[in-house]
Amino acid sequence: MDLVPIIGALAGGLIAIGLSIYFWIAAARGGRRTQAVFFLILGLVLIVVSAGLGWQKLGPGNPEPLVVAPRGPVQVRVLTALPVEPWVRAAAQRFNEGNFRQDGQPIEVQVIAMDGLTALGKFDRDDFGALGNRARADLTAQELEQLTTNFPTVWIPDSRYLVELANASYKERLGRDVFLTDGEYRARPVAISLFTWGIYQSRAAVLDKTFGDVDWQVIHDAAIAKGGWPELGGDKAWGFFKLVVPNPRRNVGGLAAMIAAAGEYYDRTNISVADVTDPAFQKWLGELMGSLTDVSGASAYTAEDFALFGYSVGDGGQLLESDLLNNMAGIQTRWADPLVIRYPKYLTWFDFPFSIWVGPETTAPEKNAALQFEQFLLTPEIQKLAVQQGLRAANSEVSVTDGDTLFTRWQSQGVEAVVPRTTRMASPSRDVLLALLRWFDLNVGQ
Amino acid sequence: MKRQQTNRRPVIATLAVVIAVLALCCVAAIVVLLPKMRATETTSGPTTADQRSATLTIAYSPEKTALVKDLAATFNARKLRTPDRQAMSVELVEMTPEEMVTQALSGQPAFQALTPDSSLWLDQLNRRWAQSQTQAEPGAIAPRLVGEPVRYAVTPIVIAAWADAARSLGWPDQPVGWSTLQTRAQQDPSFKWSHPSTAHASGLLATLAEFYAGAGVQRGLTAELAQDPRTAAFVSAVEKTVRYYGEGEMAVIQRAATDGPKYLDAFVVSEQLVVAFNTGAFGQPPADLIALYPSEGTLWADHPLALLETAEITANQRRTFQALREFLAEPAAQTKILNAGYRPADLNIPLDSPGSPLTAANGVNPAEPQTTLQLPTPDVVSVVQNVWALTKRKTNVFLVVDTSGSMRGEKLSNAQAALRTFLAQIPSDQERVGLVEFNSGVTNIIELDTLASNRAVLTDAIDTLEAGGNTALLDAVRTAYSRLQRQADLDRINAIVAMTDGRENASAVSLRQLTAEIQAGNQDVPVVIFCVAYGSDADYELLQSLADASGGQVRQGTTETIRDLYKILSSYF
């Protein structure tokens, strides 16, 4: 395939010289020589081009072309956390249809769904193939193709602390951040969602009667009831109390839930490695996690599972508000037992920062195209779309109660537009996260 | 001047011809070389064309063949294209979940996406793949080979029982659980039940339930509890009541459709198969099946669909995956899924919507299950699988092998390979296997013994089989049958796997005599006969009579499929 331009240019050159000779003969019969000279020059130019291409392709030290000509639109590959993926995907579709351009080229946004923790693992292991200390020009055509096809331009993880963890990893490796915290390309939240309790109404009524307000201690006490639901005052057919917490190996929401549980256990917002490794806390957490239905790691245990498999897999748990809101109607249709929402004392939330990769792996047009997409996501119209999907808007101009939204629709089930409590858990350190994951592996399962 | 010009004309003309010829040569070179270059590129690794491929090959588990084929055909009929105009298409390859895991780990899978019956397999794949990678530090985030799965159809695992059998277990007034089934099977020798091996999600669930019951807990099953001798003894006692195992739910339900209640009283399958059975997907049902949702808890077959995150995945294959994912979420596809008896992933579709087959009339209750069994950690699951392999009901099996003249050549050599595969597929040396070789009469008998003692003897005998003579099939089957009857080993599954490629023409015993003997003998010591009709000349009707008399089955094999067939048959023991 690569020889075709060379042979083509050579053929064109020869034909042009042939024509030049024809016109030369014609000129001898009284015609003009201008055409002969024109075709002669054209022919010589084409032959020189052919020779140049041939040298580049076949000459010593040039096994691969130095540059790959830009093809098609400017690609923006967005690695997106699962809770916002439907919204980002819908926004990307509108954006792609909106004739947005960068440097005259159309922009195409491609959304790749990936849990934040999985993506962090890939960054940690350099699975995407960062250049390190190599320059783009040093890459072979195949490497460059791989880079331009696979390397994410943008990462929208669940939480800002995942960005900080990725930066910490790259700082160790490259001596610089790869996602910026200030300046034009800084990571900016594009939506927000809180962690809330979601409990099947029939079960919540029993817990309310037995324990009062639901919190982690109540859930712990329900989890360790040896006689299961009958002991708590519930139906025998419900079996044991079953807690729903995302598997932290599969869904970063699981880590957030464990951090919130630790916050309540210690009644403070900052959790250290010493807290996580405290035997008394580990015993308490172990008892709590003993009520998980599936500790095999086979299920991510998202709100989607909670809805799809109903009360058979979980009576209640702490999950992302947006996920719960999106499944409220479906749960009612499928299981004829609605969910109630309760807000915990210690709040954790995800802020979904739009983080543009600033390393040389992405080109300037790609970065600027990504910036355009970020601005598009923050427009009131697209932020309203986020609210329609149960997310809280990052743009303060957009209210969650403006019109018929999931927040207004499910107020009767406990949804609050403004959460009065302000106790917010601090972002955990990498060591705390790893300690929690390690504890989970050793005591609960992968 | 004119003369000079006249003299130069031939030179110039010749030059013009030479240049024209050169130009033509260049054009010809393009025409000739281009296809060759393209051909070379196709055989030498990834190319631009490969990198743009939008064809997605999906491995699917066999129980959902009809649904998956239907959905893929509808998707392909849409003729969607990627932004660079590549045709999006889905190709399918049927595979057991275990094979999917093995192929994916080999690094050369024949598929880019997979949809097994349960997420359990994706987890196993991820764990095994992560173990093969270097892990930087304890607690570090393990790499995963499988991308984010999506679900389009789910179905709970149930105990399927004929309506009469269900009533005898207490349905619908009393809760029916794993313990009800296990107690009944132990107390009533005539009660026949079965579950697939732990290689299937439904088999694994049934086995886990036994371990929970044996350990006396309903959650928190640990490796220590699973390995406790008392647990193992309980599981062993329950497993002795299992009629025989099998290759999966599909084979069991098809057999139930043909044989009705005489086959089994109860068996473990997915709810969807109960619906499909009662709605006539396997023919007119001989009686109604009822889905019993175990009171201790069940498990869900969640049929995940996921991409394998390998470097070979193209951007266009991702686009096809995404398009397929969106297609599967559409109301039309979801309704199709509901109509097939699955619970659709779209929660907005009510299970009791008009036309839904998930009704009490079809033996199911959409408000169930109320609770699930706790699925233990992967390590405990592995222990359960291993302990089950040791405690499961053991087998006495005779291989009856035709070496008549018609078996000469490729037929015999492929049969030998199949027999070797059969032996290799039975890992436990505690199983007892014997062999009866026949042609004009019974020519060689290797008596039943544990594989620990006679694996090598059997292998030698198989390697030295020689074809010649007539076909005394009935005498050979009788030889094996009488030996199994003499053993009278009720603790084990007693079975004969009889293979022939021709017509019976040399036995002393008649078919009528032999079937009468089998029916009488099976009253005390049940012996199941699996018959293999090898090639197109085998006497299928005779083999069917033998199978029917013993509660067994006939399978057809060819020189191409005989090896796989014996592999499948080995899963029954």
| Cα–Cα distance, A392 to A191 (Å, whole number) | 6
Q: For residues B356-361, give the mean pLDDT.
A: 96
B11 touches A: beta carbon within 8 Å: no
Q: Dihedrals φ, ψ of A294, to 5°?
A: -125, 105
Q: For residues B67-88, give the mean pLDDT.
A: 95
Out of B9, B371, B374, the one facing A238 most closely (by C-beta) is B371
Contact B148 A297 (CB under 8 A): no
How many CB atoms are located within 10 Å of the residue A386 CB? 29
| Chain A residues inside the 8 Å CB shell of B30 | 4, 7-8, 11
pLDDT for residue B49 is more than 60: no
User: What is the residue whose two structure tokens read 């269900």?
Assistant: B166
Half-sphere exposure (Cβ direction) of A174: Cα atoms closer than 13 Å: 20
Contact A22 B16 (CB under 8 A): yes
User: What is the residue whose two structure tokens read 């712990």?
Assistant: A220
B5 touches A: beta carbon within 8 Å: yes
Out of B122, B137, B371, the one facing A312 most closely (by C-beta) is B371
| Chain B residues inside the 8 Å CB shell of A329 | 347-348
**Residues 300-339 (B) with a CB less than 8 A from some CB of A:** 300, 302, 311, 314-315, 318-319
| Cα–Cα distance, A352 to A247 (Å, whole number) | 19
Lowest average pLDDT, out of A27-41, B216-230, B315-329, B386-400, goes to A27-41
User: What is the residue whose two structure tokens read 């109607």?
Assistant: A329
Contact B137 A313 (CB under 8 A): no
pLDDT for the residue numbered B417: 94
Residues whose CB is less than 8 angstroms from the CB of residue B380 and which lie 6 or more positions away in sequence, other chains included: A445, B221, B222, B223, B226
Contact B19 A242 (CB under 8 A): no
Considering only CA atoms, which of A126, A122, A129, A133 is closest in space to residue A149? A129
Contact A120 B141 (CB under 8 A): yes
To the nearest whole angstrom, how far is the Cα of A422 from the nearest Cα of chain B? 31
Contact B83 A441 (CB under 8 A): no
Between helices B65-77 and B331-339, what is the axis angle to 10°?
160
| Chain A residues inside the 8 Å CB shell of B144 | 118, 121
| Cα–Cα distance, B145 to B509 (Å, whole number) | 59
Contact B148 A249 (CB under 8 A): no
Out of B33, B118, B175, the one facing A3 most closely (by C-beta) is B33
Q: Which residue of B has its CA nearest to A329?
A: B348
The answer to whether the complex's ipTM is over 0.90 is: no
**Residues 406-445 (B) with a CB less than 8 A from some CB of A:** none
| Chain B residues inside the 8 Å CB shell of A286 | none
B352 touches A: beta carbon within 8 Å: no
CATH code of the region A74-190+352-378: 3.40.190.10
Half-sphere exposure (Cβ direction) of A391: Cα atoms closer than 13 Å: 27
Q: Which residue of A has its CA nearest to B140?
A: A434
Name the band, by pLDDT with cuts 50, 70 and 90, for residue B140.
low
| Chain A residues inside the 8 Å CB shell of B16 | 18, 21-22, 25
| Cα–Cα distance, B160 to A178 (Å, whole number) | 56
Q: Which helix (H) or strand (E) holds B268?
A: strand B266-270
Out of A312, A329, A446, the one facing B369 most closely (by C-beta) is A312
- What does DSSP assign to residue A67? -
* pLDDT, tens only, B258-289: 888 988 899 999 999 999 999 999 999 999 99
Name the band, by pLDDT with cuts 50, 70 and 90, for residue B37.
very low
**Residues 222-281 (B) with a CB less than 8 A from some CB of A:** none
Q: Dihedrals φ, ψ of B242, to 5°?
A: -75, 130
Contact B372 A297 (CB under 8 A): no
pLDDT for the residue numbered B3: 47
In percent, the amount of chain B with pLDDT more than 90 equals: 54
B345 touches A: beta carbon within 8 Å: yes
Asked if domains A74-190+352-378 and A193-346+406-443 share a fold, the reply is yes
| Chain A residues inside the 8 Å CB shell of B22 | 14
In order, the DSSP letters of A270-287 are ---HHHHH-HHHHHHHHH
For domain A193-346+406-443, the CATH class is: alpha beta
Q: Terminal CA-to-CA distance of chain A, rounded, Å?
A: 49
In percent, the amount of chain B with pLDDT more than 70 equals: 90
Q: For residues B16-20, give the mean pLDDT.
A: 66
Contact A14 B48 (CB under 8 A): no
B294 touches A: beta carbon within 8 Å: no
pLDDT for the residue numbered B5: 52
Q: pLDDT per position in chain A (446 positions), as tens? A: 456 677 778 888 888 888 888 777 777 776 667 877 888 888 888 888 888 777 665 555 444 444 444 457 899 999 999 999 999 999 999 999 998 999 999 999 999 988 898 898 888 888 887 877 777 778 888 778 777 778 999 999 999 888 988 888 888 777 888 898 788 889 999 999 999 999 999 999 999 999 998 999 999 999 999 889 999 999 999 999 999 888 887 788 888 899 999 999 999 999 999 999 999 999 999 999 989 887 555 555 578 888 899 999 899 999 999 999 999 999 999 998 999 999 998 888 999 999 999 988 889 999 999 999 999 999 999 999 999 999 999 999 999 999 999 999 999 999 999 887 667 888 888 889 889 988 988 887 65
Between A54 and B368, the higher pLDDT residue? B368
Contact B27 A110 (CB under 8 A): no
Q: Which of B118, B271, B351, B374 to mutate to test the interface with A (most CBs of A within 10 A)?
A: B374
Half-sphere exposure (Cβ direction) of B270: Cα atoms closer than 13 Å: 25
Residues whose CB is less than 8 angstroms from the CB of residue A136 and which lie 6 or more positions away in sequence, other chains included: A144, A147, A360
In order, the DSSP letters of B445-514 are EEEEEEHHHHHHHHHHHHHT----S---HHHHHHHHHHHHHHHT-TTSEEEEEEEESS---S-SS-HHHH
- What does DSSP assign to residue B242? B
To the nearest whole angstrom, how far is the Cα of A424 from the nearest Cα of chain B? 26
Out of A15, A294, A331, the one facing B347 most closely (by C-beta) is A331
| Chain B residues inside the 8 Å CB shell of A146 | 311
| Cα–Cα distance, A299 to A296 (Å, whole number) | 7
Q: For residues B503-526, give the mean pLDDT.
A: 94
Residues whose CB is less than 8 angstroms from the CB of residue A211 and which lie 6 or more positions away in sequence, other chains included: A218, A221, A222
Q: Which residue of A has its CA nearest to B315?
A: A149
Amino acid letter, residue B150: V
Q: Which residue of A has its CA nearest to B295?
A: A237
Q: What is the mean pLDDT of chain B?
A: 87
pLDDT for residue B62 is more than 90: no
Q: Dihedrals φ, ψ of B56, to 5°?
A: -110, 120
* pLDDT, tens only, B283-333: 999 999 999 999 888 888 999 999 998 888 998 999 999 999 999 999 999
Out of A146, A228, A309, the one facing B300 most closely (by C-beta) is A309
Contact A18 B19 (CB under 8 A): yes
Out of A11, A21, A25, the one facing B26 most closely (by C-beta) is A11
B139 touches A: beta carbon within 8 Å: yes
**Residues 164-203 (B) with a CB less than 8 A from some CB of A:** 175
| Cα–Cα distance, B566 to B421 (Å, whole number) | 7
Lowest average pLDDT, out of B116-130, B131-145, B478-492, B531-545, goes to B131-145
To the nearest whole angstrom, how far is the Cα of B80 from the nearest Cα of chain A? 16
Is the distance from CB of B90 to CB of B56 less than 8 angstroms? yes
| Cα–Cα distance, B471 to B469 (Å, whole number) | 7
pLDDT for residue B1 is more than 60: no
Between B560 and A412, the higher pLDDT residue? A412
| Chain A residues inside the 8 Å CB shell of B27 | 11
Out of A146, A149, A445, the one facing B377 most closely (by C-beta) is A445
Q: What are the boundaries of each domain within chain A?
A: 4-58, 74-190+352-378, 193-346+406-443
To the nearest whole angstrom, how far is the Cα of A438 from the nearest Cα of chain B? 4
B123 touches A: beta carbon within 8 Å: yes
pLDDT for residue B441 is more than 70: yes
pLDDT for the residue numbered B13: 64
- What does DSSP assign to residue A269? S
| Cα–Cα distance, B54 to B84 (Å, whole number) | 10
Q: Which of B30, B127, B218, B219 to mutate to test the interface with A (most CBs of A within 10 A)?
A: B219
pLDDT for the residue numbered B38: 44
pLDDT for residue B408 is more than 60: yes
Beta B527-534 vs B493-500: how paired, if at all? parallel
Considering only CA atoms, which of A349, A407, A412 is closest in space to residue A201? A412
User: What is the residue whose two structure tokens read 């059998």?
Assistant: B165
Q: Which helix (H) or strand (E) holds A221?
A: helix A216-223
| Chain A residues inside the 8 Å CB shell of B5 | 28
| Cα–Cα distance, B185 to B176 (Å, whole number) | 13
Name the token pair of A247.
């598997």
| Cα–Cα distance, B522 to B244 (Å, whole number) | 15
Q: For residues B219-232, give the mean pLDDT.
A: 90
Name the band, by pLDDT with cuts 50, 70 and 90, for residue B30.
low
| Cα–Cα distance, A442 to B412 (Å, whole number) | 53
In order, the DSSP letters of B178-241 are HHHHHHHHHH-TT--EE---TTSHHHHHHHHHHHHHHHT-SS---HHHHH-HHHHHHHHHHHTT
To the nearest whole angstrom, how far is the Cα of B67 from the nearest Cα of chain A? 20
Q: How many CB pairs under 8 A join A and B?
A: 199
| Cα–Cα distance, B15 to A183 (Å, whole number) | 67
Q: pTM here?
A: 0.74
Q: Which residues of A74-90 are buried (b: 16+ CB within 10 A; e: fewer)?
A: bbbbbbbbbbbbbbbbb
